[in-house]
Amino acid sequence: MTGKAKVTLTDEDLRELFALFSSPTDEELHQVLNPSHTNFYKQENLEAEYSLTQERREFAVDAWRAVTYFLHRKGFSLHRDGTEFDLLASSEYSGG
């Protein structure tokens, strides 16, 4: 046993991650975090199909941005070899 905690995602977390992933610009980020906007993440239907029309590099970058921003919003920190990484800066969003 390592004593490390496992991150468990709720359906709300998955909705937020999907909304962040599919919203690569700062403007779209603000829309998915705004409860009064039609693109608010809590309105995502996790059962609906989604098709990708991106190249793999673009997909990977958007996924990385979504995960790092999600972890930043949830108060997580990322450390490696004694270095703490700035999750907000890593996401390349201006903030939110």
Tokens describing residue 35: 């409860």
Is pLDDT at 11 greater than 60 in this prediction?
yes
pTM above 0.75, yes or no: yes
Q: What is the mean pLDDT of residues 48-66?
A: 86
**Would you list the domain boundaries of the chain?**
11-91
Rounded to whole angstroms, the Cα distance separating 80 from 78 reads: 7
CA angle 91, 93, 95 (to 5 degrees): 115
User: pLDDT grade, residue 95 (50/70/90)?
Assistant: low
Residue 84's pLDDT is what? Answer: 94
User: pLDDT grade, residue 76 (50/70/90)?
Assistant: very high
Phi, psi for residue 8 in degrees, rounded to 5: -115, 130
